[in-house]
Chain A
Amino acid sequence: MSMFKQTFILVLASTSLLFGFTSLAQTQGAGLGTPVSESLLENFDQVVEPDGSGLPEGNGTALEGKLVYDEKCQVCHGAEGEGTSGNTRIVGGDINSSGNPIRTVGSFWPWASTIFDYVRRAMPTDAPKSLTDTEVYQVTAYVLYMNGIINQSTVLNSDSLAAIEMPNRDGFIDRSQVQ
C-alpha cells in the first residue's frame, strides 16, 4: 500500500477543513472513488422504490405468473400461498382480526413495489436472482392476484405496479423523525 496516497488523502482532508467546507475536495475529485455512470450500474442497482423508480422494462400478468409460481415458489409457499412454515405465508390474513393478526403481502404490506424488489433480490431462497425481470413481473402479478388485489389479466409494468393501492397502505406511520 502506498504511503504516498495515504498522506495525500490526509492533506486534502485537512485542506478542506481549513477552508471550512467539503465541496472543495468534491469538486477537485480528491478521493479514491472511481467515477462511474448510472448506465454502468443498470444490472447492479436493483433498488425499486414505491414510486416505481428502479423498475426495469418489461411486464407480466398473473396468468403468466401462475406458471412461474407453480414451478419456482409453491414448494415453499404452498399452492395457494398459504405457506409451509414460519414466514412463508404470503396470502390472506386480516390486519383487523382479533388476537395476533396474520400479516402477509395482502393484509399488511404498504407498497406493491416491495414485492418486485424483494422477489428479484432474494427469491427463491435457494436460487436468489435466478428469475428474469419478466418472470419477476409475472410472479409479482400472481402474488397480488392470489391476494385479490388485481385481476388475472392485469398487465403489470413499471407504471401500473407503482399505481397499485395496497389494502394496508394507510396502516403505516413513518416514525423516522420522531426518535
Chain B
Amino acid sequence: MSNPINSLEKVAGNGLINRRHLLGLGLGGAGLAITGSVMAADNALPFEIPSWSRQPGPGASGYGTRSSHTEYMQRLAGNPNPVYPGGGSSRSPLQYLQGTITPNSLHFERHHAGIPAIDPAGHKLVINGLVRQPLSFNYEDLLRYPMVSKIHFLECSGNSGSLFGANASDGTAQSLHGLVSCAEWTGIPLSTLLDEAGVLPEASWIAAVGADAASMGRSIPINKALDDVLLALYQNGEPVRPGQGYPMRLFVPGWEGNLNVKWLTQIKLTRGPSNFRDETSKYSDTMADRSSLQFTFPMGCKSLITSPSGQMALERRGLYQVTGIAWSGAGSIRRVEVSADGGQSWADALIESQQSDRALTRFRIPWQWQGGSTVLQSRATDDKGNVQPTRDALIATNGLINRYHYHGIQSWSVVDSGEVRNVYV
C-alpha cells in the first residue's frame, strides 16, 4: 500500500501540509493522529470488556469534578513571598487546553494582596466624583439590570515578559505565556451605570478601585469606559469566582489585564488619570531613551503554538497536528501563518473562530516531521492589519528595559530526539 502521507499537499518548507487536509479532504487512511506511523498489529492483545463496564459508578452529584486522570492540568503559581502576602500570579496550562475557552478553575490569576472573602450582601459599588448624582449599588440590585455576554481574552501585560531576557529560558507554553485566558463574560455595560449617575462634561477619566486589601486602582479614559467596558458578574455562565473578582469585576476588552479591576467597589469620575502606583511605578513602559510610556493599554497582536511546545517531546517521525492560539487587543484574528523552518517559509493555518473579536482564536495545521532539527513558529495578523513582530523587531522598538506587552513570535526548536525547547532565532 502506498503511504497516504505522500499524497498530502506540501505548502511550505520542512513538511507543512495544506490546512485543507484538516477539513477531511484527502487525508485517506493516514488520519491526523499525533503520529502517522502505523502500529504493528502482531503483538496486539484481544479486546476485553473493561472493568468499569462491569459495575455501576457513582450517581449524579451537586457539583461536578474532573476525571482523576486529568489532575495534571494545574495552574502554575509562584512561591508565596512572606513580605507580599497574597501577592503573585498563577498561569494557565495552555499546552493542555483545546478550543478557546479557559475553564474557570484554570483561568490565570494575578493578585496584589490575595483574594478578599467578600460577602456580596455587604459589598457596594459606588460611582462618585464628577457625576450629577453619586450612587451606590448593591449586588442584588445589579443582578436586575439588562446584561450582555461577550467572549474575550484577558492577558496580563507582563505575560511572556521573560522572553525579553537575554537567554531563552527552558520553559513551557504555560510558564512562558500562561498569563492569558479567555472566557465568556456576562455583565452590565458600564455605560448604563455611568449614565444613571450622570457623567459631567468635565469628566474625562474614571478611577476604578477594588475591594481587596491593596485596594488596587487603575485609571481608564472615559471614552473607553462608555464604549465597551463591562461590569462583569458572570464568567462562563457562573458568578465570577473569588479569584477573578467575586462578586464583580471590571472587564475592559482588549486592554491590559491589570485594568480589569477585580472586586470592583468604586468608580470615581475625574478630570485626569489618578496616577495610581500600578500605572506609574508598574505597568508603564520605559523605553531605551529612558522615557516611560504611560497608559499603553491595548494588548498586541500575538500567537503561539501550544502543541508541540516547550518541554514536550515528539515520540516518532510522522504526521502531527500543530495547533495554538492567537489574539489581538485591536480586533479579530484574520490570519495565522506557521513556519516549520525557522521563518524561511510560511503556510496559512486553519483558523477556527466563532466569535473572534478580542478573543482567543484556535489555529491548526498538519505537519509531517521527518526527523532532524527545526524551528516551529506562528505569526498572527489581525483585521486592522497588525502583524505579530519577530522578537528582534519587537526589541528594536521596545528596547530591553520594558518588560510589558511582549508579543513577539515564539520559536520552538525541535531536535532530532524530538525534544521541543524555547529558543531565540
B-contacting residues of A (Cβ < 8 Å)? 1, 5-6, 9-10, 13, 22-23, 25-26, 29-38, 41, 44-51, 76, 84-85, 87-88, 95-96, 100-101, 103, 105, 108-111, 113-114, 117-118, 121-122, 125-126, 128-129, 168, 171-177, 179
Interfacial residues of chain B within 115-129, with CB under 8 A of chain A in the complex = 126-129
Q: How far is the CA of A95 from the CA of B132 in the complex (A)?
A: 42
Q: Given A122-B215, A125-B84, A126-B85, is A36 in contact with B126 using a C-beta cutoff of 8 Å?
A: yes
Q: Mark B197-212, 1 if CB is under 8 A from A, else 0.
A: 1100000000101000
* Residue of B198, B277, B297 with most partner-chain A CB within 10 A: B277
Q: Are B135 and A33 in contact (CB under 8 A)?
A: yes
Is B67 located at the chain interface by the 8 A CB criterion? no
Apart from A177-B221, A179-B297, 8 more pairs, CB < 8 Å: A22-B195, A47-B274, A76-B83, A84-B83, A87-B84, A125-B83, A125-B113, A173-B293
Taking Cβ atoms with an 8 Å cutoff, the residues of B that contact A are 81, 83-85, 87, 112-113, 126-129, 132-138, 140-146, 192-193, 195-198, 207, 209, 213-217, 221, 266, 268, 270-277, 280-281, 284, 286, 290-298, 400-401
Minimum C-beta distance from B135 to chain A (A): 3
Residues B213 and A128 in contact, CB atoms below 8 Å apart: yes
Contact across chains for A9 and B146 when beta carbons are under 8 A apart: yes
* Cross-chain pairs A/B with CB under 8 angstroms, 13 sampled: A5-B144, A32-B141, A33-B136, A41-B126, A41-B134, A45-B266, A105-B281, A117-B276, A121-B217, A125-B84, A129-B213, A173-B294, A176-B295
* Contact between B132 and A26, CB atoms less than 8 A apart: yes
Which 6 A-B pairs give the minimum distances between C-beta atoms?
A33-B135, A176-B295, A118-B277, A31-B196, A121-B215, A32-B141
Q: Is the CB of B268 within 8 A of A6?
A: no
With a cutoff of 8 Å between Cβ atoms, the chain B residues found around residue A32 in the complex are 137, 141-142, 144-145
CB atoms of B134 and A37 under 8 A apart:
yes
Give the shortest distance, in Å, between A81 (CB) and chain B (any CB): 14
- The answer for the CA separation of A114 and B294 in the assembled complex, in Å, is 14
Rounded to whole angstroms, the CA-CA distance of A29 and B136 in the bound complex is 13
Shortest CB-to-CB span from A69 to chain B, Å, is 15
Which of B193, B271, B273, B280 has the most A CB atoms < 10 Å from its CB? Answer: B280
Least Cβ–Cβ distance between A143 and chain B, in angstroms: 12
- How far, in Å, is B29 (CB) from chain A's closest CB? 51
Chain A min CB distance to B132 (Å): 7
Contact A26 B198 (CB under 8 A): yes
Residues of B within 8 A of A173 (CB): 291-294
Is B135 within 8 A of A122, CB to CB?
no
A33 lies within 8 A of B197 (CB): yes
Report whether A114 and B144 are in contact in the complex, using a CB–CB cutoff of 8 Å. no
Complexed CA–CA distance, A25 and B281 (Å): 40
Q: Which residues of B contact A126 (CB under 8 A)?
A: 85
Chain B residues, CB < 8 A from A125? 83-85, 87, 113, 214
Which residue of B has the minimal Cβ distance to A21? B195
Closest-by-CB residue of A relative to B400 is: A100
B275 is contacted by which of A10, A49, A105, A128 (Cβ under 8 Å)?
A49
Given A50-B272, A117-B276, A128-B215; A9-B144 close (CB under 8 Å): yes
Given A38-B134, A114-B277, A122-B277, A44 contacting B286 (CB threshold 8 A): no
Q: List A contacts of B401 (CB < 8 A).
A: 100-101
**Contact partners of A176 in chain B: CB under 8 A:** 221, 273, 294-295, 297
Residues of B within 8 A of A51 (CB): 272
